[in-house]
Chain A
Amino acid sequence: MINILIACDENDLDLGNYFHQSYLHVFDVLDPQLVAVITLQSIDCTEVNINLHTSNYNGNPFIFIGLSHGNEEQLVSHEVYVSESNAVSFANSIFYTCACLCGSSLAQKLIEQNCSTFVGYNRTVYVIEDFFDVFLTCQNFAIRSFLTNDEPISVSVEKMKGYYDDEIDRLVAGDINETIAAANLVSNRNCLVLLGNGNLTRSDLTNG
């Protein structure tokens, strides 16, 4: 079984629906025979809960997926739930998030505390209202590919960039609204980063 902990801030006033749709999009590929999923909804996205659930993994590898706002130092729902203060909770994890800006400072601190791999964004992430499905499909591509193919996470991320390219090319052939969406996909793709071990595969995370 692969342990997966998902934090989803579906109650956020601006992007709650987007985060929820993203969650469903990830959940859609999770095979209950292969994965054990714990979902923390908005109210449960707290540092205390995160630390409690990750400690139950007893140091075994797991995947964390953060679907919420963020900044250089934190992931945030109604309160800060990931920061330097609980970075140690993500030892031996693949940390995957759509949050803004956390791909440099916070990511580095997670890696220093033995997080295996970080996949996220080191600048502002844009979402165009009329193109939620396109943006979340791009954003979730690598983790879905990783969970459905026995491939290194670095390969999943490269495939994700390729998918961004395909969507950019498709949108840019449309009207100006689609072109603006494509422009913001370019920006998102350009700030996507992978830190840490890119060689991990799904098999490496299987416990028991």
Chain B
Amino acid sequence: MPVEKFTVGGIEKLRIGPAKSTPDAAVPTTGMIDITDFINPGSVTRTKNRDNIERLIADGKSVAYVTFRTPGDPNTIAIALLDQNPEVEQLLSNIVYDAATTTITELADRKLANVCIEITTAPLNGKKCIIFIPNVDASLSTADPLTYNNVEKFVIDGEIKSYMTTDNKEAISIKKWVTPAGTAIDSTP
């Protein structure tokens, strides 16, 4: 029998929305903005950092007598957008948007937005992965110059925070593999 594959790559859909006051594992039913069409290809990066190890090594030895773990940097997610959609900007930064005149006033006080992010990967080997990150502190910045042969990008930099699961465990994200049609997969051997 072929080895079961759990491959993750490509983006079928990416949605972003306000984090719930009590983040949990369920994707909010309202307020999610589909930003798939705005993504700068190749820009969505999830960074999983590790903790550092401090070693106490006894004199004349090479192997640690005791090790301590010190927390490393938090996990992050970065997304660059080719489009400066006002709805997305409103979610992530402190602006006043007047749709009637399509005018955005950027307020002086910067904002750290608390959002949730749902990424559905492209199906690979008959499986796609739905990654849900319920609690992300995100900030919005820009990248690249205004020039005739390129566009200015929006860059969303998120720091992943934790949430409580229904059985009271502190968690950070969920990866769920489903069939291309979205049906759950039973991987029980």
- The answer on A and B forming one complex is no
